[in-house]
Chain A
Amino acid sequence: MSLHDHAPSHAHEEGHGDGHATHHPNYVKIYLILLVLLVISILGPELEIRIVTLVTAFGVACIKAWMVAKNFMHITMAPRYVLYLVATTLVFMLLFFAGTAPDVMKFSGTRWEKTPVAHVQAAPHGDAAHH
């Protein structure tokens, strides 16, 4: 991409260094949809059915997040570079989760068992020093 050796001449150009005007959807309509989704995420857990809670709370959160990213942050209109950048960080996040989850979430395995913290604290200090 070439360098612009002069300042944009007016405000409109300033906003579009990439030479493309942002398409502005009906933001109020999107906002109202987000509010409806918020109400669903509040009412869903009131039914106290686990699967309904998961879908209405976390499923709806994912939809809301995508709506904000797409319509307010205009992520789909940004160069592909941005999508790859964000996707890479999300993959790193999943790698972190996959790498550490067994250590946190499993309490026993083949020839090992996690010692509860209370038991470690209850043991005499001398024991810990000797082992």
Chain B
Amino acid sequence: MSASARPIATTRSTAGMPTGRLAVWWVIASEIVIFGGLLGSYIMFRLSHDSFAAEAANTNMYVGAFNTWVLLTSSLFAVLGHKAAEEGNGPKAAKMLYLTFGGGLIFLLVKTWEWSEKISHGHTLSSSTFFSFYYTAAGLHALHVIAGMVIMAIVAQTAKRNLELHRVELIGIYWHFVDLVWIFLFPLLYIAK
């Protein structure tokens, strides 16, 4: 894209940072309220209903831990992609984003297997309040993982050609937030029994 045709929102810098980065932080701020409300409600019920402990015993801590490791590793790739983009190395940044994408894919595959197993054992969305929270929180998080993967694939396509490298950092910030949410979901859903 030529300099004159470049959208003003891409080049403008308000609030002391590029508009794109500012927008991502606003998205994250709204996400904190969404996930915060959900997790806050879960904590209230968890602390006041003993039956949650018995239901939580049906989750597998090691599967949750594996997925935590997968997301942490994908976050490492995302931030290495950001570093590569700042060094002007688009192909390397794209490669890192593809690896991050792979991490998201593994996470979703594990989640699919885990959910299939739970459903086959009769633990469905409506079987108990705990599992209502479990599927809602983990499902909402999984939707964010899918959204991040789609955006990441698009960003990687342009980064590969050394274009729009600033976007690598933006999708990275979003991905780290998705990782951060899981960091709290893991102990809440898998450890506290």
For residue B102, CB closer than 8 A to chain A, the reply is no
Count the B residues whose beta carbon is within 8 Å of the partner chain — how many?
71
Tell me the residues in window 89-120 of chain A with beta carbons closer than 8 Å to chain B beta carbons.
Answer: 89-90, 92-93, 96-97, 100-101, 104-107
Min C-beta distance of B171 to chain A, whole Å: 12
Min C-beta distance of B45 to chain A, whole Å: 6
Given contacts A1-B15, A105-B47, contact A58 B29 (CB under 8 A): no
A85→B73 CA distance, assembly (Å): 28
A38→B62 CA distance, assembly (Å): 11
> In the complex, what residues of B have CB within 8 A of residue A6's CB?
3, 6, 11
For residue B65, CB closer than 8 A to chain A, the reply is yes
Min C-beta distance of A22 to chain B, whole Å: 6
> In the complex, what residues of A have CB within 8 A of residue B162's CB?
11
User: Per-residue CB proximity of B6-34 to A under 8 Å, as 1/0?
Assistant: 10101111111111110001101110110
A81→B61 CA distance, assembly (Å): 38
- Closest A-B pairs by Cβ, 4 of them: A17-B18, A93-B36, A57-B187, A79-B16
Q: What is B's interface to A at a CB cutoff of 8 Å?
A: 1-3, 6, 8, 10-21, 25-26, 28-30, 32-33, 36-37, 40-41, 43-45, 47-48, 61-62, 65, 68-69, 72-73, 75-76, 78-80, 82-83, 85-88, 90, 162, 164-166, 168-169, 172-173, 176-177, 179-180, 183-184, 186-187, 191-193
27 A-B pairs whose Cβ atoms sit less than 8 Å apart in the complex:
A2-B13, A4-B11, A7-B2, A15-B86, A15-B166, A18-B13, A27-B79, A27-B80, A35-B69, A35-B72, A38-B69, A41-B191, A61-B187, A65-B180, A68-B180, A69-B176, A72-B78, A72-B79, A72-B176, A78-B17, A82-B25, A89-B33, A92-B33, A93-B36, A104-B48, A105-B48, A106-B48
